[in-house]
Amino acid sequence: HNRSDIAPLLRVVLQKLLIMLSLGIIGVSLFYFLAGCCESDIRENSVSHRPAIAGEGSTITSVLETNNSVKDWMATRRLPQALIIGVKKGGTRALLEFLRLHPDIRALGSEPHFFDRHYARGLDWYRSMMPKALDGQVVMEKTPRYFVTVETPGRVHSMSHDVKLIVVVRDPVTRAISDYTQIISKTPHIPTFETLAFKNRTNGEIDSLWSPLWIGLYAQHLERWLAWFPRAQIHLVSGEGLISDPAGELGKVQDFLGLQRIVTDKHFYFNKTKGFPCLKKPEGSSKPHCLGKTKGRTHASIDPEVIRRLREFYRPHNQRFYQMTGQNFGWQ
């Protein structure tokens, strides 16, 4: 055959391959190889050697579309191999959005709260919540409440002994103020931060059971997780580092997940108005993207003496956390 006869023949072969694929007869890898080869040959022949053949373009398009449909067909719903377990107001949403840029990460966008609120629904329900993923892709979700919920470590361990756990931590005083700022945005008539932070303002006794302060007792919460999981399975992300050096923190997370470092500094720019990094090109978009307007709120104004007292309160807890983790986060 001369070259002008090749393209129609290839078109017939491709059409037959498509039929065979729909019946599940031929391997996906062979299809990708043939489709890639044939597409370039057909285009070369159509441009250089002969008039276009009616319907050929639609055949090529259908091949390329089938690449995606085959991926969908091969993808399955699996239980997560990694969890972002905390902490609230630490930067978990930012971390998740940044990680979703990676082609080998499939992450649930919403917080399923399975291990703390919906555990009775069972693992089949939990699996059904997960996005479909191909072999080699890491499935993950984030629910910051997991880190501080007493029952959660044992429940996670019963799902998987090998799950990778990620915790974003942030200066507990700043985190508490951020938490309170979010609370008053929803319930504006609650008492002041200063009133809620103390059991007794006169003698300076801190109410460590008040949720915004209790969440910041990181060593206490981490201890429960270390009773079930080795330290090597828990990766700590600096919330401050996520703002000042997002690519550096993302690089360490990608290493921890066993993935190639694909999300790098070229993906970020710093938004001076919001005061934190934004994505140049988020997943599925060609436009820059910053997190929602609830992120980067101006914090409530707190009495400096109260902040000083809280720093004193947290200092021994922070030191214990540094010793447990082998990481010094440099909080005041």
pLDDT tens digits, residue range 6-30?
555 555 455 555 444 444 433 433 3
Q: Is 280 annotated as a binding residue?
A: no
Task: Answer yes or no: is 179 within a domain.
Answer: yes
Rank 49-63, 159-173, 275-289, 294-308 by mean pLDDT and report only the highest. 159-173
Where in the sequence is the domain holding 299, given as residue range(s)?
A: 76-325
Looking at the structure of the chain, the number of domains it has is 1
Is 6 exposed, middle or buried, given 0-12, 13-18 or 19+ CB atoms closer than 10 A?
Answer: middle
Q: Decide: 232 and 161 in contact? Cβ < 8 Å.
A: no
The residue among 208 and 34 whose pLDDT is bigger is 208
Q: Is 24 annotated as a binding residue?
A: no
Task: Answer yes or no: is 7 within a domain.
Answer: no
Q: Is 91 annotated as a binding residue?
A: yes
Task: Answer yes or no: is 236 within a domain.
Answer: yes
Q: Is 3 annotated as a binding residue?
A: no
Task: Answer yes or no: is 51 within a domain.
Answer: no
Task: Answer yes or no: is 24 within a domain.
Answer: no
Residues with active-site annotation: 89
First to last CA, the chain: 79
Amino acid occupying residue 69: S
Is 180 exposed, middle or buried, given 0-12, 13-18 or 19+ CB atoms closer than 10 A?
Answer: buried
| Strands (E) located in 164-286 | 164-169, 198-200, 205-206, 234-238, 268-271, 276-279
Q: Over 80: is that where the pLDDT of 314 sits?
A: yes
Q: Is 309 annotated as a binding residue?
A: no
Task: Answer yes or no: is 34 within a domain.
Answer: no
The residue among 66 and 80 whose pLDDT is bigger is 80
Q: Over 50: is that where the pLDDT of 213 sits?
A: yes
Give the pair of three-digit tokens for residue 245.
């050096």
User: What local confidence, expressed as pLDDT, does residue 245 receive?
Assistant: 93
User: What local confidence, expressed as pLDDT, does residue 290 receive?
Assistant: 82
Rank 30-44, 176-190, 264-278, 294-308 by mean pLDDT and report only the highest. 176-190
Distance CA 32, CA 67 (A): 7
Mean pLDDT of 267-284: 77
Q: What is the mean pLDDT of the chain?
A: 83
The residue among 93 and 285 whose pLDDT is bigger is 93
Give the pair of three-digit tokens for residue 31.
């299809």
The pLDDT tens digits of the residues spanning 90-136 come to 999 999 999 999 999 999 999 999 999 999 999 999 999 999 999 99
* Whole-structure pTM value: 0.77
User: What local confidence, expressed as pLDDT, does residue 15 receive?
Assistant: 55
Q: Is 295 annotated as a binding residue?
A: yes
Task: Answer yes or no: is 43 within a domain.
Answer: no
The pLDDT tens digits of the residues spanning 150-194 come to 999 999 999 999 999 999 999 999 999 999 999 999 999 999 999
Domain of 121: which CATH number? 3.40.50.300
- Per-residue exposure over 244-270, b if at least 16 CB sit within 10 Å of its own CB, e if not: eebeebbbebbebbebeeebeeebbee
Q: Over 60: is that where the pLDDT of 200 sits?
A: yes
Task: Answer yes or no: is 64 within a domain.
Answer: no
Q: Is 89 annotated as a binding residue?
A: yes
Residue by residue, DSSP assigns 63-130 as HHHHHHHHHHHH-EE---SEEEEE-TTTTHHHHHHHHTTSTTEEE-SS---TTTT-GGGHHHHHHHHS
| Other CB atoms within 10 A of residue 309 CB | 19
